[in-house]
Structure 1
Amino acid sequence: MTQRLAALAPEQIEIIDDSALHAGHAGAASGGGHYRLFIVSKQFAGQMTVKRHRAVYAALGDMMQREIHALSIAALTPDEASANK
């Protein structure tokens, strides 16, 4: 995931694997994991949340069909990340 998300030139990235919390879930049975993503990039400037999420999904490509069953995304600009500290 980190390699693919590098296309968004992140200044900060954190990926948390919550798959163990979803053991027995249908998505877990198919092999897809549950993840939380925190990503900070200048590329998100001027973009609404939906467009930011689309950029993340595009970067991950086919991983969203196999390796990732569920993905929670927090996609911020550097200014937004600083304000949230």
Structure 2
Amino acid sequence: MLPSVLRCARSASTRLALHRPLAHFRPHMAPDPSRPVESSIRTKLTDALQPDHLEVHNESHMHAVPPGSESHFRVLVVSSQFEGLPLIKRHRLVNEALKEELSTCVHALAIQTKTPEQWGSNPNLAKSPPCMGGSRGDPTVEEKLKAGRD
């Protein structure tokens, strides 16, 4: 587990994916110390849900946040632990695994959960809509971003 200081540190925004051994998926990607929040999310979801397939995408760059932020994420979790569970219970499992990040440094988390059977019939990650958040209409956002870098 990463120290909370590192978990909430800002780093380069990028897309990462972790895949368990399935013939048509890329191999496991090692955690990147320059992306501590992504690494923490990946580790905790892997430990809690033993996914067949896991994708963690940092979408912070799509929002009005300082460069390198780790505050907005989209996850895709494919796990047999979701068998027979309604969507709300699946999402609660993800939220419970990431409760520390959600209460500290992660501002937004889009969750997509599938069973292995659902993933096999539709192996796609939903696309994020463009950010329409309040900061887009805030004329002082540039000043706030500058202050955050100082």
| Residues 35-74 of structure 1 aligned to structure 2 (within 5 Å) | 35-74=73-112
Query: Unpaired runs of 5+ in structure 2?
Result: 1-40, 124-150
Runs of 4+ in 1 over 4 A off after TM superposition: none
Provide the alpha-carbon RMSD of the alignment: 1.5
Say which structure is richer in strand: 1
Shift of 1:52: 0.2
SS of equivalent residue, structure 1 residue 68: coil
Between Structure 1 and Structure 2, which shows a larger proportion of helix residues?
Answer: 1
Larger of the two Rg values belongs to structure: 2
Aligned length: 80
TM-score by length of 2: 0.50
Q: Specify the SS of the correspondent of 2:84.
A: coil
Equivalent positions of 1:1-85 (< 5 A) are 1-6=41-46, 7-24=48-65, 33-85=71-123
How high is the TM-score relative to the length of structure 1?
A: 0.86
- Residue pair 1:37, 1:71 contacting (<8 A) in 2 also: yes
- Highest RCO, 1 vs 2 (Cα 8 Å, sep ≥ 6): 1
